[in-house]
Structure formats: C-alpha cells, structure tokens
Amino acid sequence: MPRRREPEIATIDAFSHDGRGIAAIEGKKVFVPGVLPGERLRMVRRKVHRGYDEAELLEVLVPSPQRLEPRCTAFGVCGGCALQHVSAGKQRHIKEQALRDSLKRVGGVAPQRWLEPLFDPLPESGWQYRRRARLAVRDVSAKGRVLVGFREQHTTLIADMHRCEVLVSPLDGLIEPLSELIGSLSIRKRLPQIEVAAADNATELVFRVLDPPSPEDREKLQRFGFEQGLRISLQPGGTDTLQPLYPESPAEALFYELPQFDLRIHFKPVDFIQVNGAVNRLLVAAAVELLQLKENDRVLDLFCGIGNFSLPLARRAGHVLGIEGTAVQVSRAQSNAVLNDIGNCDFRCADLAAVDGREGWLRQDWHGVLLDPPRSGADAVVRHMKRLGPERIVYVSCHPATLARDARVLTAEQGYVLEAAGIVDMFPHTAHTEAIAVFARSPRRGGRK
C-alpha cells in the first residue's frame, strides 16, 4: 500500500453515487473527485479507511473526450461544486442513478414509473442559480487577506476564491469585495460567517459578529450596502438577534413569488427557503399536481416551514393544515397566509420527530399528505401513516437514503405503493440529489384503522 500523501498514477473505472470517480488499486477502491471514467490521472490519498480511501486529484494525464472545462477557477479545491466538468445531462443521470440505487438497496422498492427530472430548462440555468448560502470567513495572515467563501474539499479550510459562479447576481461577484471590506474592519478576526439571501425584491447580507463592530466598522458596512445596492444586517447571537444596519428600517420584507398560484411569500434572510427559485416553482407545481386534489379535499403539510407548499395547496384544496417544529417558522407561515388573503390554511407548531400517536391531527381525515422533511427524514411520521390513511402522499426529499428508508416503512408496513419517483436538480454542478416521490394507498388495503 502506498504511503499516505505519496502521489500515484491511476485509471478511473466508474462513478460513485456522489459524482466522484472510482479507481480500483490492489483490490481497494479509491474515490477521486473531479474526474471521469476512463481518465488516467495523478492523485494523492488524503484519507485512508479500512475499506476504501479518498484521494485528491493532482493532474489529469489522459482526459476523457466527455470532459468539460470547469467555469470556476476554484473548482477542484472548493467543496461546493463537484460536477462542473460533467455535462448537465450526465449530472442528472448520476443523480437519478443514486436515487434508483438508494431505493433498491435501502428501501427494497422501485417506483411503478419514473418521473421526468425537474430542472430549469433555460440556457445557462445551471449558473447563478443559488439565492441562499452561508459563506465562511477567516482572516489568514499567511495569505495577507481575509478569505470568504466555501470550505475546501478535504479540509476545514476556506477555499481561496474570488467569485462564485453558482450564486445569483450580484452575490456571484461579491466574494472579492467582501474580502476587502472585512479586511478593513477592526473585528476582522471576530466575524466568522455571512448569510446571503437574494429575494425577488432585494438582496441581504447578514454578518455574524462575535464582537460589536466599532462606529467606523458600522459606517464601512453601511457604505458597502449603499454602494452595492444591498441590505446589511448584523447577527450578534442566535437567529432572533438580527439587527438591520442598512437601511435601518427596510421599506418591505424580503419575498419571493410563486406566480402560478398568485402568491408572494415573505421571509427573513436567515429563514430556510429552497435555494433555486426557478426549480422551486417547478417543484411546488409538481407536488400540487401529484396530490390530485379536488376543491373540498383536506391536506396535511408536514415540515411546512414558512408555507412554501401549504399556501399553494390551499389555492387548490378545501383546507390545509401545516405543521412545523419551529415556532418562528409557524408564525411566518401564518403571516404569509394573511398577506395572501388565504383563510383555508392553518398552522401548528409540533415536534415531528417525536410523534407518539396521541396528536389530534392523527385522528382526522386527510385526502393527501405532503412531506418535506430535513435530511434525517420523516421516520416518526411515516410509522403512523396507516392511522392517518391519506389516499396519496407526496414526499419531497433532500436525501435519497432517508427517503428510501421511509419508503420501506410506507410500502412494507403502512399499506402504500410507491407510484412514482424522480430527481429534482435543485443544485446543478453539485452531487447533492433531491427527489420527489408519490405514494398511493394500496388497493389491497381496507379503510382507516
């Protein structure tokens, strides 16, 4: 076995589920990012495990004819994108294969039909799409500058980058100006991150500050906001400590629109929203359609957030109940219902990871259930689905493995069939796979129990 960090020559045999290349060396798999099957390369192993190793690409010696030139100069170092060297169609193929394999291997299931991938079809749609991000910040004396951006692939260090090709405008061009701005502040070593949020009406930066900025710092931050046409806020503690700095009293809240449903959804810059606005519109429309709603149907939206699915569902159904584990998000969802003059949608705060069967909403009749859980999935909820008894379930997933685990419970224990599934390309150029799945009540099942 070569020593760790000793360069080696290898040939890539296949792709892994996360878009890395796989080289087989003396019976051991070595995973290498940024490569294509058939390529010969020089690499160095960075992480050695018992059953496999992880390596860093040093040089492609014999490139694949399918290789594309990455647009970003930080590609291969920055851990944000893993697939810029792969065509958009091939990227979606990799993600669909990851979903297929997870459903089969973890869930022991396959859908009756595969949905067409959801993606923004416009030219250049894979670039400048990301409207929410958390940028890391670190003052690096050895480089003589403050680094702003994403973590490197193999370390906790921040990649030395000057712009980001997947952030929406104007965020894509702000990496270097932010580095210079923070480098001029007295608290440059006490500012670890920046939350960025681009709404339909404005773009806001939230600076996480561990020490109060000086009056001169505040003036520089305000001037930056004015010159760049940005909103600036400070966050000295938790998300409830947000302090608008420029302007001190914004004229209106940040919002994004869902035109197909005549909705305007307000949010705070630290709220969770889907990062890709164009794909989110497609996803919401698909979820509503797949539930096959009639005007008097009752729908349960679990992990509802600020109402991204609840409010469009309320435009089509008789009544919607949204449930979310964070009181702040529930309050935001309620406000959004009022702002959009929606009276047939209620919201409730509950811990959906601790469902025990005594919840009142479990004893009500629902035509459909929409699930949009975090990466950990919806295990506690799906184990009570037989009791809920909806005709249809639409599951929006950000992690194929937990979707597959929950699909096993729904199909093997709860009396449902996996009617359809497909990928949602929310994060082009990354290996991150999102999915949507539809479960229908099995005709072999009786009524509610």
Residue with tokens 């859908």: 111
pLDDT at 1: 45
pLDDT at 443: 81
Structure-block tokens of residue 320: 């919607």
pLDDT at 154: 75
Structure-block tokens of residue 144: 């003589």
Residue among 130, 35, 152, 52 at smallest CA distance from 90: 35
Examine the pLDDT at 247 and tell me if it is beyond 60. Answer: yes
Examine the pLDDT at 26 and tell me if it is beyond 50. Answer: yes
pLDDT at 449: 43
Mean of all residue pLDDT scores within the chain: 95
Q: Kindly report, residue by residue over 284-313, the tens digit of the pLDDT.
A: 999 999 999 999 999 999 999 999 999 999
d(CA 423, CA 398) in angstroms, rounded, equals: 10
Can you tell me the mean pLDDT for 3-22?
86
Per-residue pLDDT band for 445 (boundaries 50, 70, 90) equals low
pLDDT at 123: 83
Q: Kindly report, residue by residue over 66-90, the tens digit of the pLDDT.
A: 899 999 999 989 999 999 999 999 9
Examine the pLDDT at 215 and tell me if it is beyond 80. Answer: yes
pLDDT at 288: 98
pLDDT at 164: 97
- Which helix or strand (DSSP H or E) is residue 207 part of? strand 203-208
Examine the pLDDT at 170 and tell me if it is beyond 50. Answer: yes
Provide the β-strand partners of residue 416: 441
Q: Kindly report, residue by residue over 338-374, the tens digit of the pLDDT.
A: 999 999 999 999 999 999 988 999 999 999 999 999 9
Q: Tell me which of 3 and 258 has the higher pLDDT.
A: 258
Name the percent of the chain lying above pLDDT 70. Answer: 98
Examine the pLDDT at 2 and tell me if it is beyond 50. Answer: no
Can you tell me the mean pLDDT for 266-283?
97
Catalytic annotation, pick one of 81, 164, 345, 398:
398
Alpha-carbon dihedral 115, 120, 122, 127, rounded to 10 degrees:
-140
Examine the pLDDT at 155 and tell me if it is beyond 90. Answer: no
Q: Kindly report, residue by residue over 187-205, the tens digit of the pLDDT.
A: 999 999 999 999 999 999 9
DSSP labels, 41-93: EEEEEEEE-SSEEEEEEEEEEE--TT----S-TTBTTBSS-S-TTS-HHHHHH
Can you tell me the mean pLDDT for 328-344?
98
Order of strands across the sheet with 21-25?
A: 8-11, 40-48, 52-62, 28-32, 21-25, 14-15
- How much is the pTM? 0.93
Question: Is 78 an active-site residue?
Answer: no
